[in-house]
Amino acid sequence: MKHPFTLCAMVLATVVATQAQAVEIQVGYAYSATFDPTFERMMQGFSKAHPDIQVTFRATYENYEDATNTVLREAVANTLPDVSFQALNRQALLVERGIAKPLDPYIAREADFETDGYHKAMLDLSTFDGAIYGLPFSVSTPISFYNMDILRAAGVETLPSTWDEVIAACNRIKVNTDKEPLYWEWNISGNWLLQAAMWSQGVPMIKDGKLNMDNPEGLKALETAKAIFQDCGMKNVVGGDAAKSLAAGDLAMFFSSTAYVGFVDRSKIGDWEFVTAPYPGINGAPQALPAGGNSSMLTSGSDDPEVLEAAWQFIKFATSGEGAAAVALTTGYVPPNKVANALLMEDFYTKNANKLTAVNQLPLLSEWFAYPGDNGLAVTQVIEDHLESIFVGDAHNMEELRDDLVEEVNALLPR
């Protein structure tokens, strides 16, 4: 279900609209529960800096797949938003379709704009044929969330560093407490955590344009998923509901995006100890992890130079300096550039240690793969369907499932 933007930001937009000769731009983004507080905070500064620009936020996209599908439909209907926040692994499709506009002409006109200030791994993912089509807005890695009170009650003294240790902790929690042991957000956007299972073994999920799981690492990734689902008795809920269970003190371990840190901090019930830690690996610490998050893209269908310039001013503000600092202050994401980090208090991460986990994992950032060709979104769903068959108990032989998955996916990819 989509939600309109919050009242606070709507009021801000109305105030801006009263300014004489205001230029209106429309902006779309996903994940209302995560990013509404971010844009509320950001708009306070943007409205003061740009009283001549009226920002209207469209109904939020439900998730990143919805964001891309919606923009593809809007391109056909000629109703595109001027700015759209899109997942890093979905940018290529919008570039290929001619929907996203290159930002280089705008960057070139900025006397003091430093692209070097952005995390290189993120900026590289927005660069196509040498042109920049998106500026990174939020940087994420998968991390571990723990309720230390439940772990101690279960007799778990050391935080798990591998999935075998996670599953052993699950068994202790099931025996010694009445709490939910674990939630692993397997169906998060873009098969992100399955890609994490591959990258953690040092193996890319896509190689030479094909699904690269026809190997021992692919089998191990699926066997690990099966163990998580079946040995831990994981509930069949969505990630947002699992985060609520964690915040309520009912869930012991939660594995997903660092984006949830801000939500848990705001929603935490009781005085139990909340701790984040590095993401578990397979047979040791992860060798790499997929870069998560989204970028701000110029998707306007307008030919009006004033509208395009206003959209650029919003993109620039949102991804650098004060706007980007709001990302760290309201979520668990890492700011996309060094200027934003400089604007944060020097002791920010000392006071917010749970947000430091993702920062420490930045050296592991690797590509969050988009599946090439027109069937990229369909491939995402095919992989999710196969994972769901493990979750619900319909699939038992992981080698057979892997082989079927590889064959089905590669049939959808360009030859």
The pLDDT, as a whole number, for residue 345 is 57
The pLDDT, as a whole number, for residue 131 is 96
| Contact assessment for residue 42 and residue 323, using Cβ atoms and an 8 Å cutoff | yes
Q: What is the pLDDT of residues 233-284, one digit of tens each?
A: 899 999 999 999 999 999 999 999 999 999 999 999 999 999 999 999 999 9
C-alpha neighbours within 13 Å on the C-beta side of residue 400: 6
Instruction: Say yes or no to pLDDT of 14 above 70.
Output: no
Predicted confidence band of residue 20 (pLDDT cuts 50, 70, 90)? low
Instruction: Say yes or no to pLDDT of 105 above 70.
Output: yes
| Contact assessment for residue 282 and residue 221, using Cβ atoms and an 8 Å cutoff | yes
Predicted confidence band of residue 124 (pLDDT cuts 50, 70, 90)? confident
> Which of the two residues, 362 and 346, has the higher pLDDT score?
362
For the chain, percent helix, then strand, then coil, each to nearest 5? 50, 15, 35
Q: What is the location of CATH 3.40.190.10 in the chain?
A: 7-140+291-365, 142-289+371-412
Instruction: Say yes or no to pLDDT of 16 above 50.
Output: no
Q: Report the DSSP beta bridge partners of residue 30.
A: 61
Instruction: Say yes or no to pLDDT of 130 above 80.
Output: yes
Average pLDDT over residues 43-71: 95
CA 174, 176, 178, 182: dihedral to nearest 10 degrees?
-40
Average pLDDT over residues 106-130: 83
Q: What is the pLDDT of residues 284-302, one digit of tens each?
A: 999 999 999 999 999 999 9
Instruction: Domain 7-140+291-365: give its CATH superfamily.
Output: Periplasmic binding protein-like II (3.40.190.10)
Q: CATH code for 142-289+371-412?
A: 3.40.190.10
The DSSP line for 190-258 is: GGHHHHHHHHTTT--SEETTEE--SSHHHHHHHHHHHHHHHHTT-----HHHHHHHHHTT-EEEEEEET
State how far the Cα of 269 lies from the Cα of 248, in Å rounded to an integer.
Answer: 5
Average pLDDT over residues 211-232: 97
Q: Whole-prediction pTM value? A: 0.86
Instruction: Say yes or no to pLDDT of 150 above 70.
Output: yes
Average pLDDT over residues 379-389: 97
Predicted confidence band of residue 399 (pLDDT cuts 50, 70, 90)? very high
